Amino acid sequence: MARIEHDFIGDLEVPANAYYGVQSLRGKENFFITEEKNNQEIYFIIAFAYVKKAAAMAKLFERRAGSGILRFGIE
């Protein structure tokens, strides 16, 4: 079972139980970092999750206090 998702390139079938979208699927199909598939490298997936979490935390911090810190640094 699959769902059809659309982006600026066109339509693509994404597995129905997938938590990712069409852009992630295109990246998986078109960009090979190594000869091995990334879904077999559990440490790569875990590290990538930590990077995504850190980016989300930084963005949250920026929204709460970042503007005040930037203003203080300029003055």
**Torsions phi, psi for 15 (to 5 deg):** -55, 140
Could you tell me the CA-to-CA distances from 1 to 21, 22, 46, 67, 72 in Å, in that order? 15, 15, 27, 46, 54
Tell me the pLDDT of the chain (75 aa) as tens digits. 899 998 888 899 998 998 888 888 888 887 776 666 656 677 877 888 888 888 888 887 777 665 555 455 444
pLDDT at position 58 is 81
Residue type, position 40, single letter: Q
pLDDT at position 38 is 58
- Considering the entire predicted model, what is its pTM? 0.42
Show the CA angle centred on residue 46, arms to residues 45 and 48, nearest 5°: 65
pLDDT at position 73 is 45
pLDDT at position 74 is 43
